[in-house]
Amino acid sequence: MKKIEFQKLNFPRGLNLNLLSGFLSEEKLKELIIDNCRKTRIERRIILPSRKTLKKIVCHFLVKKYREDYDKVMADLKKDSRLLKDIGIDRKQVRQLYQQRQKEIKKGK
């Protein structure tokens, strides 16, 4: 039997494996699928973060990094103008997002 090329298999569209195949080699994709195929659906599920979640995560990271020095946080965000534009937030929102993420971490989310 010839070697099966995973990228040529007709997987259901709902799995969105085409997203992974653009970043992973065929061997890595095959390894990922085989290593996880016996797990439950919940254990196999991968969900990429939304824009809102990314905002919280980035703000939380930067506030922790600069030990709640919001001037440094804002300066760091402004360094990468694309990041600040994508996030589109001010100092007050950074505080709110940081606090919200802190609560989520305590709850285990």
79-90 confidence digits (pLDDT tens): 876 666 666 788
Instruction: Please determine, for residue 7, whether its predicted confidence score (pLDDT) is greater than 80.
Output: no
Interval 32-80: pLDDT, tens? 999 999 999 999 999 888 888 888 998 999 999 999 999 999 888 888 7
In 3D space, the residue among 56, 51, 43 whose CA is nearest the CA of residue 93 turns out to be: 56
Residue 39 domain-assigned (yes or no): yes
Q: How many domains does the chain have?
A: 2
Q: Which residues of 62-91 are buried (b: 16+ CB within 10 A; e: fewer)?
A: bbeeeeeeeeebbebbeeeeeeeeebebee
Question: Do 38 and 59 fall within a single domain?
Answer: no
Question: Do 95 and 69 fall within a single domain?
Answer: yes
Q: How far apart are CA 5 and CA 7, in angstroms?
A: 6
Which domain range does residue 90 map to?
51-107
pLDDT band at residue 22 under the 50/70/90 scheme? confident
- Cα 48 to the chain's mean position, in Å? 5
Question: Do 80 and 38 fall within a single domain?
Answer: no
Question: Do 69 and 103 fall within a single domain?
Answer: yes
Q: What is the pTM of this model?
A: 0.70
pLDDT band at residue 31 under the 50/70/90 scheme? very high
Q: Quick one: CA dihedral 26, 27, 28, 34, positive or negative?
A: positive
